[in-house]
Amino acid sequence: MANSARWNSQTRASHGSEANPRLVLASSSLRSRVILATELHPKRRAECRLEHVSYHADYTIPLPEGHAFPMGKYTALYEILVAESLVGAWNLHEPKECSWETLALAHDEAYLAKLRDGTLTRDEQRRIGMEWSPQLVRRARLAVQGTIDAARAALSNRGRIAANLAGGTHHAMRDTGEGYCTLNDVAVAARWLQREGLVRRVLVVDLDVHHGNGTASIFAGDPSVFTFSMHGERNFPLKKPPSSLDVPLEDGLEDDAYIATLAQHLPIAVARANADVVFYLAGVDVAKGDRFGRLALTERGIAARDSMVLELLWKRGGLPTCMLLSGGYALGEDGKTSSERTAERHAIAHRVAAQLRNA
Ligand SMILES: [Zn+2]
């Protein structure tokens, strides 16, 4: 797809080398670090409101040198949260690969067969923005299951927040991937929760800077899933199928105007959705200087956004909330890679979530 191709070529020059030896840490060494961090901070562990964190080392796969996607952000974020004792053995959960049967709740069998058999066309791979490989498919299936596991945990621990350190891949449609999104984890998870009888109504709060076109199209005409997308009007994707509530934003929007707009629309979305569970796509490509973002939020603005969302859901009787990464494409600066700086921005929402207090 032309948009994806442009997305890639726009950033290739600024990306540079993303090689990061920290990405290849073995699981066992990560696990021992987690336990160590837990032992060091028992008080913080008890106070941490992040009840469940899904993470798998295989969320990260090798990409060709110079690829625009900051693949190292998953590991980098995980390491930040471990170092701050927001993730430890008590809340860390490693997902398995989501079954093909479960994936079929939101995706066409024909598309899944292409993923399984490695028969995506060149155009279909270009539209995803990543080449097919068994690792790519495994990564996508792990991330979907990570979201399902987190959502289930959110439902069983009312008042606490669950997160997946991946997911929010909202451009994936029923029958195709797009814009670095292979599978739509939120769509599969929502359908799975409904099928299991765990929820009837679902709210998707999508604050990634890009429109949630895949999610909107999958749930079009389905009143049981309320999709709320606040996004750059002139940004990717070109075609934006209607969400239940779309709030398009002008280029260059700064903190105050963004927060005022969110304060105006979010309560309406929450009220209209009347949901049993909420998926929060906390994309950080709203940040000033993001390579694909076009908005101008500071890190304080991102924290204010995340606080507003999580506190509002908290005040609604602790609505079960599953938090997902979505996009973020910070420039590498000050000796840090794009992945490391993007992960620092993703860490903001997790700090806010962990510190929510009874108001
Ligand atoms: Zn995005």
* pLDDT digit string, tens, across residues 302-334: 999 999 999 999 888 889 999 999 999 999 999
- Read off the pLDDT band of 44 (50, 70, 90): low
**pLDDT > 70: percent of the chain:** 86
Beta bridge partners of 246: 229
Q: What pLDDT, on a 0 to 100 scale, did the predictor assign at position 168?
A: 98
- Report the b/e string of 284-311 with b at 16+ CB within 10 A: bbbbbebbbbbbbbeeebbbbbbbbbbe
Position 184 pLDDT exceeds 60? yes
Residues paired with residue 227 on neighbouring β-strands, in sequence order: 204
Phi first, then psi, for residue 350 (nearest 5°) are -70, -35
CA of 44 to the centre of ligand 1 (A): 32
For the chain, how big is the Rg over CA atoms in Å? 19
Under the banding of pLDDT at 50, 70 and 90, the label for residue 46 is low
| Class of residue 223 by CB neighbours under 10 A (exposed 0-12, middle 13-18, buried 19+) | exposed
Q: Above 70 in pLDDT, residue 40?
A: no
Contact 156, 348 (CB under 8 A): no
User: Where does 2-354 sit in CATH, by number?
Assistant: 3.40.800.20
Q: In angstroms, what is the span from residue 287 Cα to ligand 1's centroid? A: 11
Centroid of chain to Cα 252: 23
Ion ligand 1 residue ranges (Cβ < 5 Å): 208, 210, 283, 285, 327
- What are the Cα distances from residue 3, in Å, to 128, 179, 238, 255? 11, 8, 8, 28
Q: Where does the pLDDT of residue 228 fall: very low under 50, low under 70, confident under 90, or very high at 90 and above? A: very high
Map out the domains of the chain as residue ranges.
2-354
In the prediction, which pLDDT does 264 show? 98
CB–CB of 254/179 below 8 Å?
Answer: no
Measured in angstroms, how far is the CA atom of residue 259 from the centroid of ligand 1? 18
If you average pLDDT over residues 196-210, what whole number do you get? Answer: 98
Residue 223, both tokens: 């009143």
pLDDT at 134 over 80: yes
18-27, 103-112, 313-322 — which one is most confidently predicted on average? 103-112
Six token digits for residue 196: 């299991």
Higher pLDDT: 44 or 115? It is 115
Q: Is the whole model's pTM more than 0.85, yes or no?
A: yes
Give the mean pLDDT of 140-154: 97
pLDDT-based confidence at residue 158 (cuts at 50, 70, 90):
confident
| pLDDT on residue 2 | 36
Query: What's the whole-number mean pLDDT along residues 24-35?
Result: 43
CA of 326 from ligand 1 middle (Å) equals: 6
Predicted local distance difference test score (pLDDT) of residue 49 = 84
Helix, strand, or coil (residue 249) = strand
**pLDDT confidence of residue 157:** 79
Residue 284 CA to ligand 1 center (angstroms) comes to 8
Q: Mean of the pLDDT values across residues 265-276?
A: 97
Q: What is the pLDDT of residue 315?
A: 83
Give 279-294 pLDDT, tens digit per residue. Answer: 999 999 999 999 999 9
